[in-house]
A and B are shown apart, each in its own frame.
Chain A
């Protein structure tokens, strides 16, 4: 295994950019006494190299219409009757989230420049390990591997919240950890059960995504397994009523932690639904769809209403995340191409706009050491550049046409309306109005009005570093809003393939016994991106 792995690390492969952050984190173990500035710059350079790897990889493997790349598969754990493979691949569904991760990492480090005061080597170390966990979970095509990466994300995030967070950081960190772990442990059992069932039918255990997709399960089994997966993902999203860890985690986390958490970690929940929970258990998903829809819409309204009454900027943004992710869930459950494209785009949009909002709340906090509305007001006169970026991001988050949020939400609402969920769509649409209410309230109370506080009169405006962190985010918000096509096109083939296989299976009969479908060519059971004909392997050793 080791030689194959090393060859992959050195070659132009997915593995390289998944593990590069971890390898780059090793020197940090010996840099504890290095000057803080050196560590900061080291982290920034590493994150830029990582971004460079990601972008060049994406460009190199772009085939004009989409992107399907897999690293050569090799055996990771092999025992008689049990094989766990190291299998990673990327397609149009994971690509946007992977690129978003790469984009946010340097921005997070820039945004933490002032706010993080202690133990920078540990901070960068945690961020880099977290990045490996995120990227790995996004590309893993073996469920066991996916679970390992999924759990690897936990400890660094726990440390980021707990060490560099606010006053109640330990409470928030432990809560975050236990909530997430509760869900994922049940998912582990579900994964094991599926691997075993596959083993019963095929003779050898397997956790490979494409193998497990062949399982046809009775409705009762599907329902339990779907529930186990859905719980893990719903906690991560978080869907109402599993959301209670989120406000605590966001409020206590340092700025960088909040940005990563909102920007990417939450998306892994929705990604999990799209990639695993729905394709594996179509019948159960279809039966339970009304419940998921109710939770999604309740999340939209509840998140918006609670955000409205917050007196703390960061809490407001945190609750707005619940509402926004409710939209994403609505789109996913609607199960048609328009809604899914909107949901995927909205995942990215939320990462950009909420990431920017968290960054700016952090910037205010760096200057004033408070996040309460009552301490602000009239800031537009003092820090006009900040005000411009703030209003811009807030409007993007609201869903103003010509900015990114509009495109995503519109597609989701259109898709869910087309799917026949009219009333859910209507209620969800009122969530857009509520978003305007609370986000404009946020802008109004901080930026407009009279300048009442003496301390606010001499706040410095954005520094070059802060502009450098915000500008790329805002540029993408505008770009997606004005010309969304280049962002929608790459994911279309992949989403269409998953959707087709989902619909085919849903139309088929429900099995009485667990059975194994035979994957015939032309049968759209395994989404085409996994089918051998469409697969392109990254360079590396051929198995």
Chain B
């Protein structure tokens, strides 16, 4: 056998989680073809596969594989688990909506699983081409998901917008990779860092290369000024897709962004980068929160709120170092819980997928849907960063990191933005409980899965606010090697 194509067994074993997800996705597609009668079980099967993948992630031996293209460390393990958590929640959010819209099919969970595999690769990639391939894998699956409501023009429009944005990201990233490789002679992050440290390459081209790479991932994270796609896509894409799309890719992309910023910050080129990140952060917080304030559509509001949250998330990146990971990880966990929860509930309550999801539709429904409204309230309070919730915990650690590293200015900006944020999150609460009902709901899509997602996210949000110690212990263990 030609030795070039022989893959060592330990390399294969090192991508077991991704293999599980990919194979499970393929099986689901085959089931759709041959056993469509089992459709109602597909999501449960997919969740089981994710559980298996989570087990595989937990038992993965640490170390690099595939000649150092990807690695497995406790850190990537932790972020992988967060991705998988978002995947499970995304899978739970969907079946009610899909059955109501007569879209229940094996392709949906399959695409989610494949996307999830791409994200795991993205989290673990330490080489630019591996990162690029992972990015493509997750993006292409997401284009399919965004267009999943095939009878709705809005869904197709959202998918097209997302695709165009994705094409931009890809070209930015590829161009950036080319420049960085050209100047440093390496596509591995550690190799690049070494080359940068020795002052190799033309600073101008390197700067451009890194700028392009960071812009690419800033697009993915929908940071201002690369955010314009988010509200349109969130509004048009099917709500359960948004529950997944608005969190999981951000977890994975944030990891890459932290790695990139860390790679350049330690080099002689690193001078202005913290301020650049700080500018992105401040702009995202301010514009995200201010624009969210004037939205009348809950999905657009949550899109802008997501932009703002990414702004908070990257506050720690303005002072890069080994301590950056902890606040980022905590914030992402909080964000996954509260944002997926909010979108999952939105996807259950709103009847017409294509039209505006006006916040005022919720008027008075707090008494009609006590459970879902209660969970939505918890998610909103958490998004606003009010204790005792996970959202507060996340903000607390982010601000703490800022103060610790002398970025009091960012903390103060964050505070000011939070105040604006509180105003629009509370609007949802007062619609639910303080306004008389405008209209009875027409076609809700409330099912067991969705209820489970709502209870799980809201419950975990509160629990983390009251008793975060087990989670923090886990995080400390995961980040111990840094």
Contact = CB atoms under 8 A, between A and B. Distances in A.
A119 B367 contact: yes
Interface in B402-434: 403-404, 408, 411-412, 415, 418-419, 422-423, 426, 429-430, 433-434
A177 B469 contact: no
Contacts of B476: 79-80
Given A119-B367, A178-B422, A188 B434 contact: no
Interface in A136-157: 147-148, 151-152, 154-155
Contacts of A391: none
Nearest to B323: A81
Contact of B403 (A170, A182, A185, A189): A189
Interface residues of B, number: 32
Contacts of A173: 430, 434
Contact of A162 (B370, B403, B433): B433
Contacts of A79: 472, 476
Interface string A424-465: 000000000000000000000000000000000000000000
Contacts of B430: 162, 170, 173-174
B419 A193 contact: no
B422 A147 contact: no
Contacts of A77: 468-469, 472
B426 A151 contact: no
A181 B419 contact: yes
B399 interface: yes
Contacts of B469: 1, 76-78
B388 interface: yes
A169 B419 contact: no
Contacts of B472: 77-79
Contacts of A178: 419, 422-423
A147 B395 CA distance: 14
B68 interface: no
B23 to A, nearest CB: 39
Interface string B356-394: 000000000001001000100000010000111000100
B400 interface: yes
A20 interface: no
B433 A189 contact: no
B168 interface: no
B412 A189 contact: yes
Nearest to A200: B404
Interface string A162-190: 11000001100110011001100110110
B431 to A, nearest CB: 10
Given A80-B476, A162-B430, A178-B423, A186 B415 contact: yes
B467 interface: yes
A306 B423 CA distance: 29
A192 interface: yes
B403 A193 contact: yes
B399 A188 contact: yes
A166 B297 CA distance: 27
B434 A192 contact: no
Nearest to B326: A79
Contacts of A188: 399, 415
A113 interface: no
Given A154-B386, A189-B399, A192-B399, A182 B419 contact: yes
A78 B422 CA distance: 28
Interface in A71-107: 76-80, 82
Contacts of B403: 189, 192-193, 196
Contacts of A148: 387-388, 392
Contacts of A319: none
A32 interface: yes
Contacts of B387: 147-148, 151-152
A513 interface: no
A234 interface: no
A2 interface: yes
A77 B473 CA distance: 10
A186 B411 CA distance: 10
Contacts of A182: 419
A413 B422 CA distance: 40
Contacts of A32: 370
B422 A181 contact: yes
A147 to B, nearest CB: 7
A154 B367 CA distance: 21
A151 B404 CA distance: 23
Interface string A50-85: 000000000000000000000000001111101000
A182 B415 CA distance: 9
A177 B396 CA distance: 20
A371 to B, nearest CB: 21
Contact of B418 (A147, A159, A185): A185
A188 B476 CA distance: 24
Contacts of A155: 381, 386
A196 B397 CA distance: 12
A1 B446 CA distance: 37
B433 A159 contact: yes
B196 to A, nearest CB: 30
A228 to B, nearest CB: 10
Contacts of B370: 32
A158 interface: yes
A1 B471 CA distance: 13
A169 B434 CA distance: 8
A193 B411 CA distance: 10
Nearest to A177: B426
A148 B408 CA distance: 21
Contacts of B415: 185-186, 188-189
Contacts of A122: 433
B472 to A, nearest CB: 6
B419 A2 contact: no
Contacts of A158: 426, 429
A182 B412 CA distance: 12
Contact of B426 (A1, A174, A186): A174
Contacts of B381: 155
24 contacts: A2-B467, A29-B374, A80-B476, A147-B387, A148-B387, A151-B386, A154-B386, A159-B429, A162-B430, A170-B434, A173-B430, A177-B426, A178-B423, A181-B419, A181-B422, A182-B419, A188-B399, A189-B408, A189-B411, A192-B400, A192-B403, A193-B403, A195-B400, A196-B400
Interface of A: 1-2, 29, 32, 76-80, 82, 119, 122, 147-148, 151-152, 154-155, 158-159, 162-163, 169-170, 173-174, 177-178, 181-182, 185-186, 188-189, 192-193, 195-196
Given A148-B388, A162-B434, 12 more contacts: A76-B469, A147-B387, A151-B386, A151-B392, A163-B434, A170-B435, A173-B430, A177-B422, A181-B419, A189-B412, A195-B400, A196-B403
